[in-house]
Amino acid sequence: MLPKDPFMLLSVINMKLRDSNDSLDDICSAEGAGKDEVIKRLKDAGFEYVPEINQFR
């Protein structure tokens, strides 16, 4: 289960993108989370996905 807090979510997602998953789709599928919801929660906190580096900033 992914954290509700957007800063914890950012940390977990970026760690998983860096260490164990190739894509946000893979993470969301494995965690049973909606990709659009994850993107929205992070965007609302001021973060956007940067595909070139495969991470949120």
Kindly give the confidence (pLDDT) of every residue in the chain, 57 residues in length, as a single tens digit, with 9 standing for 90 and above.
Answer: 899 999 999 999 999 999 998 899 999 999 999 999 999 999 999 999 998 999 999
- Between CA 20 and CA 55 the distance in angstroms is 13
pLDDT of residue 13: 97
Kindly give the interhelix angle for 35-44 and 24-31, rounded to the nearest 10 degrees: 110
Predicted structure pTM score: 0.91
The residue among 36, 30, 51, 44 whose CA lies nearest residue 12 is: 30
pLDDT of residue 21: 87
- Between CA 34 and CA 17 the distance in angstroms is 16
pLDDT of residue 22: 87
